[in-house]
Amino acid sequence: MMKRLDTHIWPMVGIAGFLGLWHVLVLWTGSRILPGPVDVARGIAELFRKGLLAAYIRDSLVRVIAGYSLAIVCGVPLGAVLGWRRGAAEWFDGIIQIMRPISPLAWMPLAIVWFGIGNASAIFLIFLATFFPVTVSTMNAVRGIEPIYLRAGQNFGMTSWSLLARVLLPAVLPKLLIGLRLALGIAWLVVVAAEMIAVDSGLGYLIIDSRNAGKRYDLVAAGMVLIGCIGWILDASVRRLELLKSIRWGFSND
C-alpha cells in the first residue's frame, strides 16, 4: 500500500516543485515572453470559457486516433508476416530501412498537395510516423519467439490458426505493447507539428495562432502544457494494459 502511495505522491511533489521553480524564475527574470504558471492557468480557463478548449483537444485526439489506428491495422499484420517469413522480410527490409529514417514532416508538402489543408493531411503524416515503428516492433517481437514453443505446439497437432491465437499472439504481446506505446508518443508529437501547418484547428494550431495573432504567449504556453499533460495521460493509459493477465507475465514485477 505504501509503495503504491509513493508511486503517486512523488510525481506530484516533482510537478509541484517544477511549478514553483517556474514561478520564481519568471518573477526573478521579469520576463515578458515566458508567462508564469498562474498566467498559463488563466489562459486555459479563458479557452474553457470560450468553448475552445474541448474543441482543440478533441480535434487533435481524433487525428491521432485515426492515423495511429490505421498504422496498427496495416503495420501489425505486415510485421507479423515479415517476422514469420524470413524470405518476405529480405524482400522488404531494404524498403523499410530506406523509408523509416525519413522524417514524416518531410512529407508535409506532398501531403498538402495530395490531400489539401485539412484532417486528411494530418492523419496521413501521423500514419507515416507510426507505421514503420509498429511494423518493425511487431516483426522483432515475432522473431523473438523461442522456436521451442512453436515446435511444442506443432507436436501437439495445433493448426496454424491455433498457433497464431494460443502461442504466437500471447508471446508477442509484451514486446508489441512497448512498440505501440512508443509509436503513440510519436503520433502525439507529429500531430502538433502537422497542425501548425496543415490544418486550422487542434492544439498545434492553437500554439501557432496564439503566437501570430496578438503574441499571446500565455496561450502558447497553455497549449504546450496541455500537450504535455495529454501525452502523459495517453502514455499512462497504454501502460495500464501491462496489468492485463495475458501481458503482465512479460514485464518485471519490480
Tens digit of each residue's pLDDT (9 = 90 or more) over 8-36:
676 777 788 787 887 788 778 776 777 88
- Under 8 Å between Cβ of 82 and 139: yes
Q: What is the pLDDT of residue 14?
A: 77
d(Cα 178, Cα 238) in Å, to the nearest integer?
9
Greatest C-alpha distance within the chain = 74
In this predicted structure, the answer to whether residue 4 has a pLDDT above a threshold of 80 is no
pLDDT band at 84 (very low <50, low <70, confident <90, very high): confident
CATH of domain 36-248: 1.10.3720.10
pLDDT band at 246 (very low <50, low <70, confident <90, very high): low
Structural domain boundaries in the chain = 36-248
Handedness of CA 73, 74, 79, 84 (dihedral sign): positive
Q: What is the pLDDT of residue 179?
A: 86
**Alpha helix positions (H), 30-118:** 37-49, 53-84, 86-99, 108-115
Tens digit of each residue's pLDDT (9 = 90 or more) over 123-167:
999 999 999 999 988 888 887 777 776 677 666 666 666 766 667
DSSP 146: -
For residues 199, 204, 208 and 209, what is the CA-based torsion angle, rounded to 10 degrees?
A: 60
From 93, 89, 125, select the one nearest 199 (Cα to Cα): 125
In this predicted structure, the answer to whether residue 100 has a pLDDT above a threshold of 70 is yes
Q: What is the pLDDT of residue 2?
A: 47
d(Cα 206, Cα 74) in Å, to the nearest integer?
31
**Averaged over 82-89, what is the pLDDT?**
74
Tens digit of each residue's pLDDT (9 = 90 or more) over 187-215:
998 988 888 887 888 898 898 888 887 78
- Residue 88: CA count within 13 A, CB half-sphere: 11
